[in-house]
Amino acid sequence: MRTNTGVNMKSYVRADFLKRVLFPAAVLLATSPVSAAVIFQDDFSTGNISKKLNGAAFWTDNSSNYQQPSATKLSTITVQPEAAGGYSVRALYAGTTNVAEGARPELRFNLGGRYSELWISYKVYIPANYYHRTGAASSNNKFFIIDNMMGSQFMDFETFPVGNGTDVANMQLKYNGVNHDFQGGASQWYIGAPADRGMWHNYALHLKLATSATANDGAAQVWKDGALVREFLNLPNYTPGANYFEEGYLFGASNSGFAVDTELRLDDITFAITPPLSGPHWMP
């Protein structure tokens, strides 16, 4: 659990949030076993990812990762102690000298149920040596993906290099079996800009699927350190017979790879069907 982040949580303006972006309470599908607002939370204080709650859990199979020829180690997901106390998830991207070699530490999750609307919050540490390089045939890196386990529905946030080691995030949508490619936005959402490095950052996501084949009421919103950095409203993202989220992963494939070992961290994560507005598992 982390308490010393790079933002002042008291600065959030809850009234503005309620006025502008709070949607009606999430519709919980009949197949879900959860009646409470929170589906799953973890601050990794146990020193591992073995926690289970409401059928939801994290998992990773480090043996399925691969070691690139020029790397000296395997890219892995582990839980490691923090210098300031407590534990957090470490996503180690093993450094490679060949720009054609990537890395793939994936922290996977299964929600233990099916949900049409989710609020997700977590903290990510961007290391001081973060540098999203270019030169590979594909230089996009995964950041957060959630889907319905059937391949017909997902929301996917990935990062793309824009020079000087900096990257921006875009969203890819797939619904009703059709991929709608990456959606940009009016503003740039930076993940690893120089000002982001060496700090913890708070992320919150609101993901909502459309309620019918004729409704345009889906949404995808992302807050970084309390600021709304990406917003897509009035989405027609409905998939008949499979209109739900059930699994996904954080971090994952870095097609660009990193020249040196690069460790991202994750802590204090919450999956919920309504937005918790206080405490370490926060929403904006």
Confirm if 257 and 117 have CB atoms less than 8 A apart. no
Taking only the tens place, the pLDDT of each residue in 218-233 is 999 899 998 888 888 9
Taking only the tens place, the pLDDT of each residue in 31-58 is 444 434 899 999 999 999 999 999 999 9
Reported pTM: 0.84
What gap in Å lies between CA 182 and CA 169, rounded to an integer? 10
Q: How many residues does the chain have?
A: 284
Q: Which residues of 234-243 are buried (b: 16+ CB within 10 A; e: fewer)?
A: ebbbbbeebb
Find the radius of gyration of the CA atoms of the chain: 18
% of the chain with per-residue pLDDT over 70: 79
Question: Concatenated DSSP letters for 3-19?
Answer: ---SS-GGG--HHHHHH
Confirm if 254 and 239 have CB atoms less than 8 A apart. no
Residue 65's DSSP bridge partners are none
- The CATH architecture assigned to 9-272 reads Sandwich (2.60)
More confident residue, 23 or 155: 155
Other beta carbons within 10 Å of 72: 10
